[in-house]
């Protein structure tokens, strides 16, 4: 019983197998046909924003900045809360819309001036909602 014990593993005669990598998969999102904007009401008093008042404000801003071309931009009001709103409009019109809202001096309601601010705007609603503090405004609690 004086046999020598072989503790070392036998060397492999072939090279170690290389791991096959997974094929890369890419996905390109098609350009969106619509853009979305998150608007916030800036007012010193407790004026409540409603859909009719918002539509009036947007129509005034667009007609003053762009004339008849501005009033022809179709705008869908998605959600309105007391101090903010979400709207949808055609993608090519987003820059003109944002400029019109930013340049509009506001509407006077008695002695107070009501002004809307564009909080965020972009082509993908999900990305805008995740950036906003009040994403529950559009999806609900």
Domain regions of the chain by residue span: 34-133
How confident is residue 27, by pLDDT bands cut at 50, 70 and 90? confident
Residue of 110 and 30 predicted with greater confidence: 30
Does the pLDDT value for residue 24 go beyond 90? no
The pair of three-digit structure tokens given for residue 106, joined into one six-digit string: 């506001």
Average pLDDT, the chain: 83
Does the pLDDT value for residue 123 go beyond 60? yes
pLDDT reported for residue 131: 73
pTM for this entry: 0.72
Q: What mean pLDDT comes out for the span 98-114?
A: 83
How many Cβ atoms from other residues are within 10 Å of residue 105's Cβ? 9
Chain-centre distance of CA 126, in angstroms? 6
How confident is residue 45, by pLDDT bands cut at 50, 70 and 90? confident
pLDDT reported for residue 38: 94
Q: Would you say domain 34-133 falls under CATH 3.30.70.3250?
A: yes
Lowest mean pLDDT of 16-25, 32-41, 73-82, name the range: 16-25
């Amino acid at each position: 019983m004086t046999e020598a014990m072989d503790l070392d593993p036998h060397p492999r005669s072939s090279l170690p197998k290389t791991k096959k990598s997974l094929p890369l998969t890419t996905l390109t999102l098609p350009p969106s046909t619509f853009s979305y904007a998150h608007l916030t009401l800036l007012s010193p008093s407790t004026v409540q924003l409603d859909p009719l008042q918002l539509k009036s404000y947007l129509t005034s801003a667009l007609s003053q900045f762009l004339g008849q071309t501005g009033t022809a931009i179709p705008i869908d009001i998605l959600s309105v809360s007391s101090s903010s709103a979400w709207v949808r409009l055609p993608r090519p019109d987003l820059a003109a819309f944002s400029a019109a809202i930013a340049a509009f001096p506001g509407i006077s309601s008695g002695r107070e001036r009501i002004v809307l601010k564009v909080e965020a705007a972009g082509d993908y609603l999900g990305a805008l909602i995740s950036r906003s503090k009040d994403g529950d405004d559009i999806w609900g609690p």
